[in-house]
Amino acid sequence: MTEIGRFNELEIVSLSPQGAVLEGGSVLPSREVPPGAGPGDKVRAFLFLDYEGRVMATTVTPKAQVGEVAYLKINTVNDAGAFLDWGLYKDLLLPWAEVKREQKRLVVAGKKILVAVFEAADGRVAASARLDDFLRDEAEGLKEGDKVPIVVSDPTDLGLRVIVAHRYWGLVHANECFRVLPRGHAQDGYVKALRPDGKLNIALTAPGYAKADAASQGVLQVLRTHGGNMAVSDRTAPEEIYRLFGISKKAFKLALGTLYRGRQITLDEAGIHLVR
């Protein structure tokens, strides 16, 4: 069964000058047909409806599939809504009905907006800025330490509200943030705690031993790019450590200890030095 708005593994039924007809009737343009491919071969293709409602296929990867959240640029705005750049030749429609009243003043061509991508009742792929309709506060199937993709939404009094695995709301506490992360910023995070009410606390760095190992390797990599010597120590300001290494001061100190015990660095008043 094919899915609109997602990638599918589809068999080529026939070839024509226009492209490849795939199982289910979609057409893959000739310029995207893999060299040497023919009837019976399979291709991985993303399916969507064109302006006339026909099912089209592409091997181009869009910026978001159905069920995902993305921060997309607004190309144009008209009476139907906003048309967003999602990486395909056909823009993604954000209907006005999928925009909260207080958000409408922010829907301006050239700006970006955080949206959920979904399949509308007519089968077309569309966007919605009503994120609460698609995301839940209570998480399922996750446990402490899990690595998850996150997208930054908004700052709160407690820290940063983030979207976790395109499905849940989560919170990165203020003391876990060492630099300003703008709306729409995407990276991997880690489940720090799954609270009794099912809500997620998220950390930006890996927990426990995984954090120490990752931090150690990161410090080594940065140290090498600086010629093996850096004027930093465990007395350096947390903000400067995060700017240089992308980790907290606590993680930095753990990394220094690990590297020093492993005789990979030396420490003195001038800073840290790579053992040659």
Q: What is the pLDDT of residue 209?
A: 55
Residue 260 and residue 263: Cα distance in Å, rounded? 5
Which letter does DSSP use for residue 259 in this model? H
What is each CA distance from 142 to 83, 123, 138, in whole angstroms? Answer: 34, 31, 10
Tell which CATH architecture fits domain 147-203.
Beta Barrel (2.40)
Query: Would 147-203 and 208-274 be classified into the same CATH topology?
Result: no
In this structure, the chain runs to a length of: 276
* pTM reported for the whole predicted model: 0.77
Domain map of the chain by residue range?
7-58, 69-132, 147-203, 208-274
Q: Give the three-state DSSP class for 176.
A: helix
Q: What is the pLDDT of residues 169-205, one digit of tens each?
A: 999 998 777 677 899 999 999 999 988 888 999 988 7
CATH topology of domain 208-274: Arc Repressor Mutant, subunit A (1.10.10)
Would you list the DSSP string of 106-156?
A: G--TT-EEEEEEEE-TTS-EEEES-GGGT-BSS--S--TT-EEEEEEEEE-
Cβ–Cβ < 8 Å for 48, 78: no
> Quick one: tokens of 137?
């506060």
Residue 152 and residue 46: Cα distance in Å, rounded? 26
Q: What is the pLDDT of residue 210?
A: 55
Show the low-confidence residues of the chain (pLDDT under 50).
Answer: none
> Quick one: tokens of 140?
């399922």
Q: What is the pLDDT of residues 210-222, one digit of tens each?
A: 566 777 888 998 9
Question: Looking at the domain covering 69-132, what would its CATH class be?
Answer: mainly beta
Cβ–Cβ < 8 Å for 29, 18: yes
